[in-house]
Amino acid sequence: MDFNEQQIERYSRHIILQEVGVEGQEKLLQSKVLVIGTGGLGAPAAMFLAAAGIGTIGLVDGDVVDLSNLQRQIIHQTKDIGKLKVQSGKETINEMNPDVNVITYNTFVDSSNILDIIKDQDYDFIIDGTDNFAAKFLINDACVLAQKPFSHAGIIRFHGQLTTYVPGENAPCYRCIFKEPPPEGLVPTCREAGVLGVMGGVVGTLQATEAIKYILGLGESLSGYLLTYDALRMEFRKIKVRHNPDCGVCGKEPIIKNLIDYSRPVCDLKSGTLKG
């Protein structure tokens, strides 16, 4: 791969890093990342992935831009209200970095389409930027079954959490940690409970960091850890989490062989698990 002069300048702060260099930048340009949800988490994640020169970015969302999104979903602007979120996201990315090929999927993920979407471009890494438990368990199970690494995250009020699943490391998946969605109505949604706009910026950017590190083979991922962020106390905690041999999808005798559509979307965080 030959860089042109503009690319050398665009990526110069990466290239100068010994850990990245020309080789690393080539890896980024040849990589493919799928971002599911272009909301509070997916918007900043997709923008930093695009700025970094991830060569192919898939955007999945079945929603249109709403005025109430703009407090945190920074990939969308006021002029985009009413536009498909994937279209708005694609336009922002194209304006930022013409090196990026954006593939759009104007749909919500469910058991009938998620494996096809993941396999569509044989994505290297998946970002879960969704806002409900049904999607989070679906993405987890699909990534485990397809043996794809992914970053889970959730945000609500002033709290955030994230973890990374990497296949083959005997590390926990999301279901190892949380088992199944909470009963309906137990956990409020972001719409009901609110969320500080910057939470997605902090946590979504950490998800992009995990993707970039994974592609470059740098450092240690959050595989085997749950990172929690309390913005009011300005406190990050890295909690060791273990693989569950009885996990329904990645345990010794998995019972989940087909994907499940949980009925009602709830929201991000099991707040009980954050206290301890």
Question: Which stretches of the chain bind Zn ion, using CB under 5 A?
Answer: 173, 175-176, 247, 250
What is the closest distance, in whole angstroms, from the C-beta atom of residue 244 to Zn ion in the complex? 6
What is the closest distance, in whole angstroms, from the C-beta atom of residue 134 to Zn ion in the complex? 17
DSSP calls for 61-95: ---B--GGGTTT-TTS-GGGTTSBHHHHHHHHHHH
Q: How far apart are CA 73 and CA 92, in angstroms?
A: 12
Maximum separation of any 2 CA atoms in the chain, in Å: 55
What is the closest distance, in whole angstroms, from the C-beta atom of residue 37 to Zn ion in the complex? 21
Q: Which is nearer to Zn ion, 136 or 175 (CB)?
A: 175
What is the closest distance, in whole angstroms, from the C-beta atom of residue 226 to Zn ion in the complex? 13
Q: Which is nearer to Zn ion, 85 or 175 (CB)?
A: 175
Give all strands (DSSP E) within 5-55, no chain letters. 32-36
Question: For residue 179, what are the CA distances in angstroms to 57, 182, 190, 214?
Answer: 30, 9, 21, 25
What is the closest distance, in whole angstroms, from the C-beta atom of residue 163 to Zn ion in the complex? 11
Q: Which is nearer to Zn ion, 88 or 140 (CB)?
A: 140
Residues in the chain: 276
Pairing assessment for the beta strands 235-240 and 225-230 based on DSSP bridges: antiparallel
DSSP 3-state assignment of 16?
Answer: coil
Q: Which is nearer to Zn ion, 51 or 256 (CB)?
A: 256
Order of strands, edge to edge, in the sheet holding 101-105?
101-105, 56-60, 32-36, 125-128, 150-156, 159-165, 225-230, 235-240
Residues 6 or more apart in contact with residue 251 via CB below 8 angstroms? 176, 244, 245
User: Which residue's Cβ has the minimum distance to Zn ion?
Assistant: 247
What is the closest distance, in whole angstroms, from the C-beta atom of residue 253 to Zn ion in the complex? 12
What is the closest distance, in whole angstroms, from the C-beta atom of residue 5 to Zn ion in the complex? 47
Q: Which is nearer to Zn ion, 190 or 226 (CB)?
A: 226
What is the closest distance, in whole angstroms, from the C-beta atom of residue 274 to Zn ion in the complex? 20
Q: Which is nearer to Zn ion, 86 or 247 (CB)?
A: 247
Q: Which backbone phi and psi does 28 adopt, to 5 degrees?
A: -60, -45
Q: Which is nearer to Zn ion, 135 or 176 (CB)?
A: 176
Q: How far apart are CA 142 and CA 153, in angstroms?
A: 16
Q: Which is nearer to Zn ion, 39 or 172 (CB)?
A: 172
Nearest-CA neighbor of 159 among 206, 126, 195?
A: 195
